[in-house]
Structure 1
Amino acid sequence: MARAKKQTHQITLHLEAGNAAMTDLGKMLGQTGVNLVEVKRSYDRATADQRGDVVPVVVTVADDRSFELRLKTPPTSHLIRKALGGKGSDRPGHSSAGRLSAAQLRAVAQRKLPDLNTTDLAVAMRIVAGTARSMGVTVADQ
């Protein structure tokens, strides 16, 4: 009779797509006893087409030291910085870090839609616009 696997750890990591750092994996997953090299290979293989992005992953480790990866979309702030080609403001609300066009806002919202708690693109755009404003980015009228 086969024994059911029991989940022992669930850890969320923010790693560089296609090139996960072994030091980050070791710090966070070392105590689980999982094969770190195999986790790195699986993650790098799954995110190879998203190089240059930070792709969060939820690593679920079972009691037999097997693991499962669940990829998420890159953080909203990362996508906004990528769309602007720079970074956020040093003083949000006082100085602007750039302007996010309606097309850029829509593109970021569409990319983030699977991880947001809505299925409506207009609501997703408002969520992304709020993040952009908190970064000191001016948002074009939608």
Structure 2
Amino acid sequence: MSKVASRLKALKKVTESVQHGKLKTNIPAGMAAAGPPLGPMLGQRGINIAAFCKDFNERTKDIKEGIPLPTRVTVHPDRSYELVIHKPPATYFLKQAAGIQRGAMQTGHEVTGKITLKHIYEIAKIKIEDPPLQVRSLESVCFMLCGIAKTLGLEIVKELDPKEYGEFLKERQAIVEQQKKELQEKKEAKMLRTG
């Protein structure tokens, strides 16, 4: 009886040391892998990493590979888990709609791109399917998206002329290249000071 009791005690210690609860992270569709950063996060919680990656990749096989998906994992004491995969982040959809790679470096001081009200409405129809947003009205999700668009530096317009917008994006690309160059120079100058 004492052997069984000591084994139960040892098992209890092992299960107490494993972190349970929720894990929130973005995982690229179809690209869950055992390596960092996902592997260590799952390993700390005692989840079978290979089985989780296979499960996630199977569930996201119909989505274009590499699209970031907000993922919520609830870990149970028996090391089983519940996996909830949300729609891609609003910033992803807004950048795709505007045809840009990144948002504003100085929010409120630069226009990074333009989107129409129709874009906002269509993105809201997709995002309202996410569990946290299901309790909100379509109108409130549209207002939320307008706020996110503003922080990205996107201008919301009623209509968009493709030729004019193409020229705007070419001009914007030159600005982005200049910003990247300035950032690189700052990094190099900082490394010289600290090195």
> For this structure pair, what is the TM-score category when the shorter chain's length is used for normalisation?
0.7 to 0.9
TM-score (norm 2): 0.64
Paired residue secondary structure (1:18): coil
Q: Alignment partner for residue 95 of structure 1, among 83, 106, 110?
A: 110
Paired residue secondary structure (2:129): helix
Superposed CA deviations along residues 30-88 of structure 1, whole A, max 9, x for unmatched, are: 11111101111111111122223211111111111112101112111111112122121
**Structure 2: gaps spanning 5 or more residues:** 1-18, 160-195
Contact 2:104 2:151 in 1 (8 A): no
Aligned length, in residue pairs: 136
Higher helix share: 2
> Looking at CA atoms only, which structure, 1 or 2, has the larger radius of gyration?
2
Higher strand share: 1
Alignment partners' CA distance in 2, 1:117 and 1:48: 24
**Structure 1: gaps spanning 5 or more residues:** 1-6
Work out which structure has the larger RCO, using CA pairs closer than 8 Å and 6 or more positions apart in sequence. Answer: 1
Give the percent of matched residue pairs that are identical in Structure 1 and Structure 2: 30
1:136 Cα deviation (Å)? 0.7
1:117 Cα deviation (Å)? 5.8
Point out 4+ residue stretches in structure 1 off by more than 4 angstroms: none
Alignment partners' CA distance in 2, 1:33 and 1:123: 39
Alignment partners' CA distance in 1, 2:156 and 2:148: 10
Paired residue secondary structure (2:128): helix
Query: Residues 118 and 127 (structure 1 numbering): CA distance in 2 closer, same or farther, change over 3 Å?
Result: farther
Alignment partners' CA distance in 1, 2:135 and 2:111: 28
Contact 1:8 1:63 in 2 (8 A): yes
Query: Once superposed, what is the RMSD of the aligned Cα atoms?
Result: 2.0
Q: Alignment partner for residue 104 of structure 1, among 95, 119, 122?
A: 119
2:56 pairs with 1:43? yes
